[in-house]
Structure 1
Amino acid sequence: MAGTVAGAGVSTTDISTANPPSSDASALSELRATEPSEGKTVGTLYGVGVGPGDPELITVKAYRMIRECPVVAYPKKRKGGKSYAHEIVELYVNPDEKEMLGLIFPMTKDPVVLEREWGKTVEACWEALKQGKDVAFVTEGDPNLYSTFIHLARLMRELHPEVPISSIPGISSVLGAAAALDIHLADGDEQVGIIPATADKEAMRQAIEHHDTIVFIKVAKVLDPMLELLDEMGLGGKASVVTKVTSPYELVWRDARELKGQELEYLSLMVVSK
């Protein structure tokens, strides 16, 4: 499968004791709007966006939160390997000095299984929170945009409403893809849509018709139907695909038609710019 490797390799030398992106103490003090709790009976749950894949795209505030919170929770893969969020965290903190909490999130649509497994992740966090420990749950991209943190926070509010919850915004893969393609997403009165790609052809058609630029996430499983629809709409040459955005393994296809009939990584998105 042909593609352009757009991500530069990132050094993985030990930077667990590195200074944050800014060493100016006065500048950092202005960012301390939300300090990890001390002396509280219940800790705070933080959703911390660590960016789309490139460790250098973590914000100063996200860096500080994962350094200062005693517990760092992260999405854990069932079959080994590490998520981008996990890899990024290990670059900036020493796991031996933290309580590292790996959480497994179910990849199913069965509501019974989902509720049971999500309940387990909430209770795992609650065990630390009820001891007064702050928990930083790290997530790729932004915690409030198609993130596992959204579900975790919702269920935590239902089961343990006394837990304070806060989020630290991060750079989304949507923005990383625009940078990789060197395109703008919207300007002036232009409209942009961020849409989960599905097999619902009519819904996808309407999304394309109603926006000037459309970013389709989770496009891997419906790539060919999407390409067929774009051809029908006369937009076959207007779509690009980026996988593993901003990571050292990022691949870019400026003409998505090159991918017809091929399999894509799960972490792939399509940008249609009319």
Structure 2
Amino acid sequence: MSTAAVGTLYGVGVGPGDPELITVKAYRMIRECQVVAYPKKRKGGKSYAHEIVELYVNPEEKEMLGLIFPMTKDPVVLEREWGKTVEACWAALREGKDVAFVTEGDPNLYSTFIHLARLMRELHPEVPISSIPGISSVLGAAAALDIHLADGDEQVGIIPATADKEAMRQAIEHHDTIVFIKVAKVLDPMLELLDEMGLGGKASVVTKVTSPYELVWRDARELKGQELEYLSLMVVSK
């Protein structure tokens, strides 16, 4: 662990949902770090990453630090809340405490840790920062669907789903397999696009991958017109 005057900030990937998919190193880090920080959407809200690691952390023996990451694009709100999260971590780090920031999946793939680490480097460059890889929900979804993502010369894309129809079309055209994350808010437009491309029957959806709450739709068309859990992804396998 850190021997520097300030503690080390660790981004710890704790896997897609199943607590048994946490790595040995991630387990060791959350046990050894004095502070375990976790993201949440609002004050008093639940944390998916916290749920994953609660089997391994006794909150009575560990300093637990809930950090608010609001689901908004308002730049004023984001700047204010991001500043608070960095300073909350810094308060522990400057006392020489190591902080394990746990995040579902991998800390370097569409993770809140990416933004936290970037801002920490800007405001407190003296803080050592390290990341512990984790199993991504992308891999968990492939296992749940019993499919391969890529083999040989096949190309796979991991794409945030958006309302930009042409961008989504190009992503589908340029890859053999496409995993669309953050698909919940644009599910129906995505289904319409896939139908236009003759791929309506090639898309599957998985929510809360590998967790006890996992749900699988092998034919995503069954979900048309329905609301979808935020932690959902779509796999299009051509």
Alpha-carbon distance, 1:79 to partner? 6.1
Identity of aligned residues (%): 96
Contact 2:205 2:220 in 1 (8 A): yes
Alpha-carbon distance, 1:82 to partner? 2.3
User: What is the rounded CA distance, in whole Å, between the counterparts of 1:249 and 1:90 in structure 2?
Assistant: 16
Alpha-carbon distance, 1:146 to partner? 0.3
Moved more, 251-260 or 104-113: 104-113
Contact 2:43 2:68 in 1 (8 A): no
Q: Provide the residue aligned with 2:26 in structure 1.
A: 62
User: What is the rounded CA distance, in whole Å, between the counterparts of 2:104 and 2:59 in structure 1?
Assistant: 18
Alpha-carbon distance, 1:87 to partner? 1.2
User: What is the rounded CA distance, in whole Å, between the counterparts of 1:119 and 1:77 in structure 2?
Assistant: 15
Q: What residue ranges of structure 1 are gaps of 5+ in the alignment?
A: 1-37
User: What is the rounded CA distance, in whole Å, between the counterparts of 2:67 and 2:178 in structure 1?
Assistant: 32
What's the CA shift string for 1:16-47, capped at 9, x where partnerless? Answer: xxxxxxxxxxxxxxxxxxxxxx4421100000
**Secondary structure of 1:214's partner?**
strand
TM-score by length of 2: 0.97
User: What is the rounded CA distance, in whole Å, between the counterparts of 2:122 and 2:221 in structure 1?
Assistant: 45
What's the CA shift string for 1:151-178, capped at 9, x where partnerless? Answer: 0000000000000000000000000000
**Secondary structure of 1:257's partner?**
helix
RMSD (Å), alpha carbons: 1.0
Choose from 163, 171, 174 the match for 1:210.
Answer: 174
Q: Provide the residue aligned with 2:14 in structure 1.
A: 50
Q: Does 2:50 align with 1:86?
A: yes
What's the CA shift string for 1:105-125, capped at 9, x where partnerless? Answer: 121112222111101000000
User: What is the rounded CA distance, in whole Å, between the counterparts of 2:169 and 2:43 in structure 1?
Assistant: 36
What's the CA shift string for 1:188-240, capped at 9, x where partnerless? Answer: 00000000000000000000000000000000110000000000000000000
Alpha-carbon distance, 1:88 to partner? 2.0
Alpha-carbon distance, 1:51 to partner? 0.4
Q: 1:232-251, aligned counterparts within 5 Å?
A: 232-251=196-215
User: What is the rounded CA distance, in whole Å, between the counterparts of 1:133 and 1:191 in structure 2?
Assistant: 43
User: What is the rounded CA distance, in whole Å, between the counterparts of 1:242 and 1:65 in structure 2?
Assistant: 29
User: What is the rounded CA distance, in whole Å, between the counterparts of 1:267 and 1:196 in structure 2?
Assistant: 12
User: What is the rounded CA distance, in whole Å, between the counterparts of 1:93 and 1:244 in structure 2?
Assistant: 21
Alpha-carbon distance, 1:270 to partner? 0.2
Q: Provide the residue aligned with 1:184 in structure 2.
A: 148
Moved more, 201-210 or 99-108: 99-108
User: What is the rounded CA distance, in whole Å, between the counterparts of 2:43 and 2:223 in structure 1?
Assistant: 27
Alpha-carbon distance, 1:186 to partner? 0.3
**Secondary structure of 2:127's partner?**
coil
Larger Rg: 1
**Secondary structure of 2:54's partner?**
helix
User: What is the rounded CA distance, in whole Å, between the counterparts of 1:89 and 1:184 in structure 2?
Assistant: 28
TM-score by length of 1: 0.85
User: What is the rounded CA distance, in whole Å, between the counterparts of 1:202 and 1:151 in structure 2?
Assistant: 28
**Secondary structure of 2:206's partner?**
strand
Contact 2:41 2:70 in 1 (8 A): no
User: What is the rounded CA distance, in whole Å, between the counterparts of 1:99 and 1:208 in structure 2?
Assistant: 45
User: What is the rounded CA distance, in whole Å, between the counterparts of 2:47 and 2:209 in structure 1?
Assistant: 13
4+ residue stretches of structure 1 with deviation over 3 A?
none
Alpha-carbon distance, 1:143 to partner? 0.2
User: What is the rounded CA distance, in whole Å, between the counterparts of 2:180 and 2:139 in structure 1?
Assistant: 13
Alpha-carbon distance, 1:81 to partner? 4.7
User: What is the rounded CA distance, in whole Å, between the counterparts of 1:233 and 1:77 in structure 2?
Assistant: 36
Q: How many residues align?
A: 237
User: What is the rounded CA distance, in whole Å, between the counterparts of 1:57 and 1:91 in structure 2?
Assistant: 12
Moved more, 208-217 or 77-86: 77-86
